[in-house]
Amino acid sequence: MGKCIVILEDKKSTLEMMEMALQDNGYNVVAINHHEPVDYIVDFAPKLILLDIRLSNGYGHLLCEDLKKNPQTSKIPVILVSGAGNLEKIAKEYKADNYLAKPFSMDDLLSMTKKHIL
């Protein structure tokens, strides 16, 4: 399998769509539909994290901030994914590497992924 991508997305249909598109393009995907602590994510050694801002049991932008503060995960690219109107501002404030506004096409997802996984 290819490089590991962790997706944290609370909407099941969006999570499944992202997972399928990435797997079809050779990526190893760990799909999670709720907030998890940084220590849990570290175990997967992801090369990229796609992170919804609003998770069922927490806020993705706060998790992003924790990931960027942790020496084990600070270099892993994090892309915030949301339909929030102020997504660009949130991504900058919480040190995300990029953002992907919902709704997005699978081409947009794959392009953004390739940009951050070398």
73 three-state secondary structure = coil
The string of pLDDT tens digits covering residues 57-99 is 889 999 999 999 999 999 999 999 999 889 999 999 999 999 9
Report yes or no on whether pTM surpasses 0.85: yes
Whether the bond into 46 is cis, omega within 30 of 0: no
Specify the CATH architecture of the domain 4-116. 3-Layer(aba) Sandwich (3.40)
